A and B are shown apart, each in its own frame.
Chain A
């Protein structure tokens, strides 16, 4: 299957700082990428849909000013958690949709964020 990378794989930061997470599709172009959050033993929660060249679409209840998404190219989307707080600590996972493979979404390995 296709490969999606995510960086960093884990990050620890102080409360009030901002953290940027990168998601890259390595062997296919992705006009659409998705950002999810997952708390321990809970299901994936879609945060937003990232569209190359246009604004992201956020799910209800997700603050767009706090979770900044930029989809600068067909292979890169970034999620910036601004002014992070301990309640933002979670497992953040991106996925990229491969339009040439029946719209299969391939997931990155995830980023574990811990805010102290």
Chain B
């Protein structure tokens, strides 16, 4: 079956670094996406990985290991505005993205 797991909640303080993990078991794989969703708003695209390794984009980085079915999103220099849900999603080519249930990150001062 299809399964994407991520922690339900995480907390961190301003200026810190946080890593949000995602493990997946899907029948197909054609890339992994990370989205950010603030309360009451739609998700916004953060990153995409299709090959193993680290993709860096400013304060955010995303890592993928296809052999381990594992990805993480790394957020550096945390700011209060980073408090949001972070969604891991797997692309299976030709179908809708399969989303995890999301990780709610709370950043405190």
Residues on A lying within 8 angstroms of B by beta carbon are 1, 6, 34, 43-44, 46, 49, 91, 93, 102-110
Contact = CB atoms under 8 A, between A and B. Distances in A.
A105 to B, nearest CB: 6
A1 B96 CA distance: 19
B interface SS class = loop
Contacts of B99: 43-44
Interface string B78-109: 00000000010101010111011110000000
Nearest to A94: B42
A interface SS class = strand
Given A34-B97, A49-B96, 16 more contacts: A1-B45, A34-B96, A44-B43, A44-B87, A44-B99, A46-B96, A49-B95, A91-B40, A93-B43, A102-B31, A103-B30, A103-B91, A104-B45, A105-B33, A105-B96, A107-B44
Interface in B45-96: 45, 48, 50, 87, 89, 91, 93, 95-96
Interface of B: 30-31, 33, 35, 40-45, 48, 50, 87, 89, 91, 93, 95-97, 99-102
A106 B41 CA distance: 13
Contacts of A109: 41-42
Contacts of A108: 42
B46 to A, nearest CB: 10
B42 A107 contact: yes
A105 B33 CA distance: 9
Nearest to A43: B101
26 contacts: A1-B44, A1-B45, A34-B96, A34-B97, A43-B100, A43-B101, A44-B87, A44-B99, A46-B96, A49-B95, A49-B96, A93-B43, A102-B48, A102-B50, A102-B91, A103-B30, A103-B31, A103-B93, A105-B33, A105-B45, A105-B96, A106-B45, A107-B44, A107-B45, A109-B41, A110-B42
Contacts of B91: 102-103
Contacts of B89: 105
